[in-house]
Amino acid sequence: KLMEEEYYDNMPPNEGQYSNMPPPEEELPEEERFFKDFTNQDIDNHDPSLGKDLIKIYEEEVPFEIRKEDEEISNSGTFESLLCKILTSDDINKAPHTTIEIACDKDLFFYYSSDVNAELFENLKNTQKLTCNFDSFSDLLIDFFDSCIKDTKKYLAVFTLNKEGNAKMELFENLEHKFGELIALDFKPVSDDIIRQQISYRYNAMRATNDIVEKRIQIVNDVLKDMDPQLIFEVKKDTSKVKAET
């Protein structure tokens, strides 16, 4: 027993019976601490779209055809990738609702929203022959948006602006002989205050993301310098060529 105690007393730290335990966080190397912090970045939680009772379940850029009122399907409008968000309520004490937001990176003042509660959904279900229930309405929208992203020949998303400043989103399926409407939702522009909040959030989120990327690049550079200085030289040379070409 005495020999066994002397054996463990003389062992290096983090070996023996404690070898599987992670080192204390303060002892992590700087680059490992940074990558740990990077994975815990929570920029998204600062999105002004997230109210007290809303959670974001979807955010993707979807190809849209933007039209003005009275334009027909056969007349092409302007094609843009619009940022689509789907948010749902998570407060059991409030009536459930789904909010859809559509924005454009090329025009920071292009920001529209549509709010659908259970009563409005029942009206949509009856008039547009929807086959889902309100609980799966957000899943249906996600499937439609993803289809528009993956198969632009078969699915078409149209965002029509009217003279009053409102808009209508329509998602179509190409049935070869005609376009079948999958769903149509009315949208209204958000307030100027929300637009200002969104512009500030998107600017700060982009800055924070760029800072994170730059730090990660610097860490990779430092590691390559120690492991293979010639390789980092080649990487920088190739990077310079790409910048010159662009």
For each of the chain's 246 residues, which pLDDT tens digit applies? Answer: 444 444 445 545 544 443 444 454 455 554 455 444 444 346 677 787 877 678 899 999 999 999 988 755 545 678 999 999 999 987 767 778 999 999 998 898 999 999 999 999 999 999 999 999 999 999 999 999 999 999 999 999 999 999 899 999 999 999 888 889 999 999 999 999 999 998 888 888 888 878 878 888 788 777 777 777 777 667 666 566 545 555
Alpha helices of the chain — where are they, by DSSP H? Answer: 2-9, 30-39, 118-128, 137-150, 192-227, 229-245
Q: Return d(Cα 222, Cα 219) in angstroms, integer.
A: 5
What is the distance, to the nearest Å, from the Cα of residue 159 to the centroid of all Cα atoms in its chain? 20
186 burial level (CB within 10 Å; 0-12, 13-18, 19+): middle
With tokens 């292009």, the residue in question is 110
**Phi, psi angles (nearest 5°) of residue 79:** -95, 125
The pLDDT, as a whole number, for residue 1 is: 46
Q: Return d(Cα 18, Cα 5) in angstroms, integer.
A: 14
